[in-house]
Structure 1
Amino acid sequence: MAPMTIAPTSTSTSAPLAIDAQGLVKDFDGFRAVDHISLKVKAGSIFGVLGPNGAGKTTTLRMLLGIIAPDEGRCLLLGADRPLSVAKLVGYLPEERGLYPSMSAIEAIAFMGALRGLPLAEGRRRARDLLEGHGLAYAMNRPVRQMSKGMAQTVQLLGTIVHRPRLIVLDEPFSGLDALNQQKLEGLIRAQAQDGVTIIFSTHVIAHAERLCEEIAIIAGGKVPFAGRVDEARNRLAPQVRLETRAADGPWRAALPPGALQQGHHWQFELAEAGVEPLLKALIEGDAGIVSLSIERPGLHDAFVAIAGEAAAADLDRAQEEDRA
């Protein structure tokens, strides 16, 4: 029996879908890279595929686009059951970057548009507008070989959107970029989404998924143990209470859960289902002397650990450390 995946609970059957993939499987030489993955991506949304390197992200994206065929399963891309038939409506930035070194920025963008059916003259006109709009007017005629990594990445991304696609697929778009260029890329993604374009991107950086995405799929070991809204993933864990008291002991301690962590007069524990009111009442009536009390929602990293497991989370953290090195 195929493993069960969790479809986004916020996506109704009547909502328009840019991607509707069911039970995708891909094997390479006896190794199962993708194991019965199902994804539903709403039109006009920003959707993140979050997981460590080697989790199956790139293989999944390539199956969604029809670049490689699944061994099992099916995919509707922009309503088409043959994804390659709607390739001109899609912008794709692969993980392996590649621009011709001798091309200028304008020609590189126009060339990428031409691959999607955009006439070269129109591509050059749009390329000028895009470069000016993103503060790169000075680099219009600069050869790719003379560009910084961040500039070349931006040029390739502009080439990905120059034909004005309805769907943009980005494979690890933030990898190798410094903080400033990552911020610029986030702004470009948001701008495209505001224009109604659907964006799906893979990443091993939790912060990007948390800031940008309405919905995510967590992928580990070729499987998707969770797909849905970011807040739904975080809500799988109870909020954390951080408490500081003047008193070290008293009857109020009976209101703290048995697993509460203590360091001097500081406490940390999960908020009970009953909420904070009974806790406050016990602390006040028991003369605990509340110095501070805060309730913190679990972050997406905590949710990832709970959903995908410690090993997958360690792989994710390792990939992020390698990016920063």
Structure 2
Amino acid sequence: MLQLNNVSKSYTSRRVLRGISLDVLPGELYGYVGGNGAGKTTSMRIMLGISEADSGTVRLNGSPIDDRVRSTIGYMPEERGLYPKMTLVDQLTYFGVVHGVTARSARAAADYWLHRLGLSGRFDSPLESLSLGNQQRVQLAAALVHEPAALILDEPFSGLDPGAVNTIANILREEADRGIPVVFSSHQLELVEKLCDRIGILRDGRIIAEGTYEQLGSAVGRQYVIETPVARATWLSQLERALDNDAEHLSVQAQDGNHTRVKISEHLDEQLIIDVIRRSGDLTAFYQWLPPLTEIYSAAMSGTADSPTTAAA
């Protein structure tokens, strides 16, 4: 488990992190999102031990981040940290050895990851001869070559074509499935929504919302889709009568033909809605609707979510 406990950091008079705490579980993909300057890169550098927190603690599997623990972590910085004139296989082998792997095992791992990332024909090419997208793949391979105990990746999908995005997304899922914590930041919210087990939203150095996609979606408000051939005006008026004084806690958010999306407050019982519509006629479908992460993110940033922070289950 990767744990941050009440981590704060300032540069001169500017506070970058304000008491961040989070746990990334073994086997979990944790998506880290926020605007530029929110504190993502600073906190990830502190997770790795590259930067030192002013206060708070960081631990991996119970151990503080010292040189030994740091060598077990795979890190992919947003800015590239590779050698432009060195061949791909030589520098991946080098990075493996730096992390404590034998030269023979590091070379085998370099071969594997270059094949896996679609660069098998470029083993002996210098890095500078590759496109920026392919250099990004090599940077990921450098984070994986020593079979890390945790992965910390800063914008790993930046500048990649859709095929490379799918390849890297699958690799991150596989790495989590072997039981390590995986943290990555990204501005591609649709990808974070699809890929991550839990998501943390940062603003001004604080985690303002955290949880699964479903938990974060519910924090924006409980919304349900109703599908029925019964005229909307008919079942809606009957529902408002049944709710009586609570009718003000139900509102129609969207409508399209027989489909209606309604928002209800937490204390209303969805079974009452189902029963009223069934008494009116046929109820074809009734299910909870979750907003896209882009909408959840906007609500969190503007403070319009029903609950500003959702704890993990």
- The correspondence for 1:199, drawn from 182, 192, 198, is 182
Whether 2:94 is the aligned partner of 1:111: answer yes
Task: Select 1:260's aligned residue among 252, 265, 270.
Answer: 252
Separation in structure 1 between the aligned mates of residue 153 and residue 116 of structure 2, nearest angstrom: 21
Q: CA deviation at 1:159?
A: 1.3
Give a deviation string over 1:58-110, Cα, whole Å, max 9, x none: 00111111111111112223322244331111111011013222222211211
5+ residue gaps, structure 2:
241-246, 305-313
CA distance in 1, matches of 2:232, 2:64: 65
Q: Which string of whole-angstrom CA distances, capped at 9 and with x for unpartnered residues, describes residues 24-80 of structure 1? A: 111112111111101111123222212122110000111111111111112223322
Could you list the per-position Cα deviations for residues 112-133 of structure 1 after superposition, in whole angstroms to 9, with x for gaps in the alignment?
2233233434322221122223
Aligned counterparts of 1:251 and 1:190: Cα–Cα separation in 2: 45
Q: What is the alpha-carbon distance in structure 1 between the residues aligned to residue 235 and residue 129 of structure 2?
A: 70
* Residue in 2 that maps onto 1:282: 276
The whole-number CA distance in structure 2 between the counterparts of 1:214 and 1:97 is 27
Letter in 2 for 1:241: V
**CA distance change for structure 1 residues 133 and 173 in 2, over 3 Å: closer, same or farther?**
closer
TM-score normalised to structure 1 length: 0.79
Q: Does 1:152 align with 2:135?
A: yes
Question: What is the distance in 1 between the residues matched to 2:254 and 2:163?
Answer: 40
- Give the Cα separation in 2 of the matches to 1:180 and 1:35: 38
Query: What residue is the counterpart of 1:238 in the other structure?
Result: 222
Task: State the Cα distance separating 1:271 from its structure 2 match.
Answer: 4.4
Give 1:135 shift: 3.3
Identity %: 28
CA separation in 1, counterparts of 2:55 and 2:65?
A: 14
Partners in 2 of 1:86 and 1:162 — Cα distance?
Answer: 16
Q: Is the 8 A contact 1:91 1:165 kept in 2?
A: yes
Counterpart check, 1:130 vs 2:130: no
CA distance in 2, matches of 1:84, 1:309: 40
Pairs aligned (count): 293
For 1:249, what is the secondary structure of its paired residue? Answer: helix
CA distance in 2, matches of 1:210, 1:52: 16
Q: Partners of 2:58 and 2:124 in 1: how far apart?
A: 40
Distance 1:47 1:147 in 2: 30
Q: Distance in 1 between matches of 2:176 and 2:56?
A: 28
Q: Would the alpha carbon gap of residues 192 and 264 (structure 1) be closer, same or farther in structure 2, given more than 3 Å must change?
A: closer
Describe how 1:178-257 pairs up with structure 2 within 5 A: 178-236=161-219, 237-242=221-226, 247=231, 249-250=233-234, 252-255=236-239, 257=247
Q: Give the C-alpha shift of residue 20 in structure 1.
A: 1.8
